[in-house]
Amino acid sequence: MPRAERGLLQLRRLKDLIARLSERVPLYREKLRAAGVTPGDIRSLADLARLPFTVKDDFRQTYPYGLLAVRMEEVIRVHASSGTTGKPTVVAYTRQDVDTWSEVMARTLMAGGVGRGDVVHNAYGYGLFTGGLGFHYGAERVGAAVVPMSGGFTDRQLMALRDLGATVLCCTPSYALHLAEAAEEAGLVRGLKLRVGFFGAEPWTEAMRGALETRLNIMALNIYGLSEVIGPGVSVECLERRGMHVAEDHFLPEIVDPRTLEPLPPGATGELVFTTLTKEAMPLLRYRTRDLTTLDAGPCRCGRTLVRIGRITGRTDDMLIIRGVNVYPSQIEHALLQVPDVEPHYLLVLRRDSTLDTLEVQVEARAAIAGAGRDALAALGTIVRRKIHEVVGLTADVSVVPPKTIERSLGKAKRVLDLRHGGS
Ligand code: AMP
Ligand code: ZN
């Protein structure tokens, strides 16, 4: 679609969105009122800059369904992502939303030439995380055969990859590297028919792309998405692999200065912001992703006119991604506060053990039980580990240390020691 024509489509959809939000979602009615914007004020896409932002905390304030723009009877699916404390960020879909999602996921897979006859090995997690079902519906939509593996159980994954003739691999890049290593050890790589892989949900590098392509003999494509916007399907690389084309007819991207929140010119690095143009159940206005990147509206050799986002180079908040799971230090703190015998003095140590990330949580025992002996401290460690797993969904190595051994800082507490380097 030519850019000018798409611009008109986006504008029409944006006007419709503002009308729906001000009519049906109290939080947006209030935000729009505070910004002094009425639906009639939107005359061009440049007026986007006058609209209020949405942040993750808006989900927390309205948990679980306060951002719904339809009646609950219209909702057919719910997913969730990490919240900053104990409660997750809940997102909902109407039948039309699931259809839109399948459509953008079909485009994602087609960008790598996937279609009938392909066997899609889907090792993204099924469940509340959007990765598994997003790829599942997209693969069905393009007529491929889906193997719904979900994550983990590497030996079983290897057997399925080989025996079922997978041609397409979908998982996080770090897990793909782990699979590659395990396949090499088992002498399986030559028996694989893999052709292309769709990797995302966590930051990765060109060095890692090179490693995946050589070791698995595939084309490795970067995908980017987030639950709040729809899940995977927001953007994908074409075979040129110079940035990820955004499904702009559904998700309108902007780059803003994270401090001033002013829109930045094309090419500048800043925070990525999305407005959902067609979503029905939980449409969002200028959602601040907290991801840092650039936008490139220049022509692409593949012929697509859709704008491209570059690699995600960082975050404007303290969210960590560990084995594809989003983790906020505040969530760990929330878990620790629920265990009576430890103090909320803690340090998160991240390491890369061969290919997979590990998380060590060092936490101080309460003075009263510090002398209780090693067994008691080990038992306490087990309780903490279970609690963290319950709250965050991730297994951590827990070290319960004596009181006052974790360094106190004078200013902002240093809670994270990230020893993973460069992502490769
Ligand atoms: P979730 O909503 O749980 O799917 O997590 C979305 C977040 O995962 C994004 O905001 C990014 O921080 C991260 N993410 C997703 N895809 C990528 C990618 N290709 N590169 C870097 N980070 C990514
Ligand atoms: Zn392209």
Q: Ligand 1 within 6 A of 167 CB?
A: no
User: Homologous superfamily of 320-418 in CATH?
Assistant: ANL, C-terminal domain (3.30.300.30)
**Which ligand has the minimum distance to the alpha carbon of residue 300?**
2
Protein residues near ligand 2, an ion, with CB under 5 A: 238, 240, 300, 302, 304
CB 282 within 8 A of CB 92: yes
The reply to whether omega before 64 is within 30° of 0 (cis) is yes
Q: Tell me what pLDDT residue 1 has.
A: 87
Q: Ligand 1 within 6 A of 174 CB?
A: no
Under-50 pLDDT residues of the chain: 423-424
Residue whose CA is at the smallest distance from ligand 1 atom 8: 201
Domains in the chain: boundaries: 93-315, 320-418
Query: How crowded is residue 104: how many other Cβ atoms within 10 Å of its Cβ?
Result: 25
DSSP string, 51-113: SPPB-HHHHHHTTTTTT-SS-GGGEEEEEEE--SSSSPEEEEEEHHHHHHHHHHHHHHHHHTT
Nearest Cα to Cα of residue 49 among 255, 228, 247? 255
Tell me, in angstroms, the distance from the centre of ligand 2 to residue 47's CA: 28
Tell me, in angstroms, the distance from the centre of ligand 2 to residue 107's CA: 12
CB 394 within 8 A of CB 335: no
Tell me, in angstroms, the distance from the centre of ligand 1 to residue 320's CA: 10
Q: Tell me what pLDDT residue 156 has.
A: 98
**Which ligand has the minimum distance to the alpha carbon of residue 90?**
1
Q: Tell me what pLDDT residue 408 has.
A: 83
Give me the CATH code for the 93-315 domain, please.
3.40.50.12780
Tell me, in angstroms, the distance from the centre of ligand 2 to residue 103's CA: 18
Q: Tell me what pLDDT residue 422 has.
A: 52
Residue where the block lists tokens 């505070």: 34
CB 348 within 8 A of CB 417: yes
Predicted confidence (pLDDT) per residue in 2-54, tens digit: 889 999 999 999 999 999 999 999 999 999 999 999 989 999 999 999 999 99
Tell me, in angstroms, the distance from the centre of ligand 2 to residue 303's CA: 6
Looking from the CA of residue 203, the nearest atom of ligand 1 is 21
Q: Ligand 1 within 6 A of 326 CB?
A: yes
Q: Ligand 1 within 6 A of 227 CB?
A: yes
Q: Tell me what pLDDT residue 413 has.
A: 74
Q: Ligand 1 within 6 A of 289 CB?
A: yes
Q: Ligand 1 within 6 A of 312 CB?
A: yes
